[in-house]
């Protein structure tokens, strides 16, 4: 009976210390996609471009510039034609249509023509007058006179050098210098001082 009460009290204490909780409630997140926005393809597209070509070898010369702003297109292009005229076209295109202004610059200009002068007959021919040859000149040879001879002075020669034989070679007699040996240098030996002896101190023995 006592053991049954103990078991029951233990069960009550365990239940009291561990209360039962309800499971957590899970709520799925609410997903709201963004509304679809339709893109309009009818909106005007603006652009701008230009180019230029100049090739002197093939006489190809042209350029173009065009720009679109809203519904209005403006531009200009130039072309060099075979006759040398530069054609310049400035145009505009809008809701009222296409309008172009064409101008021609430079080019070949024909030379001016003038009628030739009226023909006039030449003057009658007159034979050339006959001219008598002039008399030949009489040539007189000049009298030749030989120039006086001019002699150069006789050359002056320097006297021949007198050659003197050198004196015979006689070497001086050999005389050696007297030899004097160096005198020896003596150094006195260094003596250490005599040791100093001191008599040992005598201590009398202590009395008994």
Residue with tokens 């204490």: 13
Q: pLDDT per residue over 76-97, tens digit each?
A: 999 999 888 999 999 999 999 9
In total, how many domains does the chain have? Answer: 1
Q: Is residue 125 part of a domain?
A: no
Q: What is the pLDDT of residue 16?
A: 57
Q: Is residue 53 part of a domain?
A: yes
Q: Is residue 98 part of a domain?
A: yes
Q: Is residue 117 part of a domain?
A: no
Q: Is residue 206 part of a domain?
A: no
Q: Is residue 97 part of a domain?
A: yes
Q: pLDDT per residue over 172-182, tens digit each?
A: 777 777 777 78
DSSP-derived secondary structure for the chain: -HHHHHHHHHHHHHHHHS---PPPPP-PPP--PPPP-PPPS-S---EEEEEEEEETTTTEEEEEEEEEETTEEEEEEEEE-TTSEEEEEEEEEETTEEEEEEEEEE---PPP--PPPPP-PPPPP-PPPPPPPPPPPPP-PPPP-PPPP-PPPPPPPPPPPPP-PPPPP-PPPP-PPPP-PPPP---PPPPPPPPPP-PPPP-PPPP-
Q: Is residue 54 part of a domain?
A: yes
- Determine the structural domain holding residue 82 and report its residue range: 47-104
Q: Is residue 10 part of a domain?
A: no
User: What is the spatial distance between Cα 10 and Cα 16, in angstroms, rounded to a whole number?
Assistant: 10
pTM value is 0.35
Q: How far apart are the first and last CA of the chain?
A: 108
Q: pLDDT per residue over 10-34, tens digit each?
A: 665 555 555 556 677 767 777 777 7
Residue stretches of the chain with pLDDT short of 70 = 1-22, 26, 39-43, 108-111, 202, 208
The CA-CA-CA angle for residues 87, 91, 92, to 5°, reads 180
């Amino acid at each position: 009976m006592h053991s049954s009460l103990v078991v029951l009290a233990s069960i009550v204490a365990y239940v009291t210390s561990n209360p039962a909780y309800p499971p957590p409630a899970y709520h799925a997140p609410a997903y709201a996609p963004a509304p679809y926005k339709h893109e309009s393809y009818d909106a005007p597209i603006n652009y701008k471009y230009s180019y230029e070509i100049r090739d002197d070898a093939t006489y190809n010369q042209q350029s173009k510039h065009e720009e679109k702003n809203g519904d209005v297109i403006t531009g200009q292009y130039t072309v060099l034609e075979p006759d040398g005229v530069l054609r310049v076209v400035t145009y505009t295109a809008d809701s009222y249509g296409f309008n172009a202004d064409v101008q021609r610059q430079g080019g070949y200009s024909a030379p001016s023509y003038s009628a030739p002068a009226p023909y006039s007959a030449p003057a009658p021919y007159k034979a050339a007058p006959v001219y008598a040859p002039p008399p030949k000149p009489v040539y007189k040879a000049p009298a030749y006179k030989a120039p006086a001879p001019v002699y150069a002075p006789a050359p002056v020669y320097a006297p021949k050098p007198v050659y003197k034989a050198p004196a015979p070679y006689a070497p001086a007699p050999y005389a050696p210098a007297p030899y004097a040996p160096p005198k020896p240098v003596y150094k006195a030996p260094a003596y250490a001082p005599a040791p100093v002896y001191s008599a040992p101190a005598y201590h009398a023995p202590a009395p008994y």
